[in-house]
Homo-oligomer: A and B are copies of this chain.
Amino acid sequence: MPTSPITPPGGTEADVSLSEVGEFGLITRVTSGRRQPPTTLLGPGDDAAVVAAGDGRVVATTDVLVQGVHFRLDWSSPEQIGRKAAAVNLSDVVAMGAVPTALLVGLACPASTPAAVAAGIADGLWAEADVAGAGVVGGDLSSASTMVVAVTALGSLEGREPVTRGGARPGDVVAVAGRLGWAAAGLAVLGRGFRSPAVLVDAQRTPQPPYAAGPAAARAGATSMIDVSDGLLADLGHVASASGVRIELDRAAFAVPYRLGEIASALGADPLDWILTGGEDHALAATFAPDTALPEGFTPVGQVSDGDPAVLVDGAAHEGEPGWRHFPPA
């Protein structure tokens, strides 16, 4: 099929909608001139892509981002939305101890969407994939009444066993890598109509998962690991359940970053509440045998003990919601 350039004669990208440029025009715009990593054996443009899976296994995960639920076009740029859609998936791959190799993206949006918005989302996906060493190998585009970005990420275990949620053992150290509470603080700021501090607002718009820390934890022998997407307590709750253990966190082990403390004070919030229950930072929480030298980036925050599965903070249950729920009870 003939493809059309995304920019019509005399116009700019911002002027044209998807219905004007057409799906093939957009696909050409977002795929041409991209650099693929060596793991991309066959990139976009055919019925399916082919990606290297060196050790005969592939790690795969999918996460959907919905306009008005996970992002707002008046809060985030298209590039930031693309970066976030990539990051939340890439983070799940590294949480298994794997190295990300590829992303596939399904984009549904109104036909009136400016082509520049769709192209910006694609640019953000490519940029974040590049940070993690992955390629964007496939996609699909559809019209819809609301914008939905569905991403699948693939990864390679490089011969290691996957680090699941089910391997934590009594006596293990609980450690975290990456930011906690920053996105929640940014959301609180945005929700009150502010646009600063930029570092917190940006944290909400685009997480910065500690990609290298996942495979590093696996190499160090992590017994369990999880991506902190819904909130540390909620996600460690999954580890406690899957491993059949109790997880005890030490409140004093959490340092409150200066900016977080400052804005919590200004908004009358408890910064530790953001740290313990805030989602969307995509930190990693892992457990290690007690004699393990923690890999770079990990900070110990508690220990694993015997007992009914639960997550305690200084020996007691945390008050309030442990994290985000998509379909809260009516």
Listed in ascending order, the chain A residues whose CB lies under 8 Å from chain B are 1, 17-23, 26, 41-42, 45-66, 68-70, 92-93, 95-96, 98, 102, 104-108, 111, 137-146, 148, 150, 152-155, 157, 162, 164-166, 225-227, 234, 237-238, 241-242, 322, 325-330
Contact = CB atoms under 8 A, between A and B. Distances in A.
A27 B106 CA distance: 22
A154 B47 contact: no
Contact of A164 (B42, B55, B139): B42
A105 B96 CA distance: 19
25 contacts: A1-B238, A1-B322, A17-B330, A18-B327, A22-B328, A23-B325, A26-B327, A48-B93, A48-B98, A48-B153, A48-B155, A48-B162, A50-B157, A53-B58, A62-B152, A64-B106, A64-B142, A64-B148, A69-B142, A70-B142, A140-B150, A141-B327, A143-B326, A144-B148, A150-B150
A47 B148 contact: no
A1 B62 contact: no
Contacts of A226: 47
B327 A21 contact: yes
Contact of A48 (B1, B52, B59): B59
A280 to B, nearest CB: 13
A102 B58 CA distance: 11
> Which 6 A/B pairs are nearest by Cβ-Cβ distance?
A150-B150, A53-B53, A48-B61, A64-B106, A152-B152, A47-B95
A182 to B, nearest CB: 20
A166 B226 CA distance: 42
Nearest to A18: B327
Contacts of A63: 106, 140
| Among A1, A65, A106, A152, residue most surrounded by chain B Cβ atoms (within 10 Å) | A152
B57 A49 contact: no
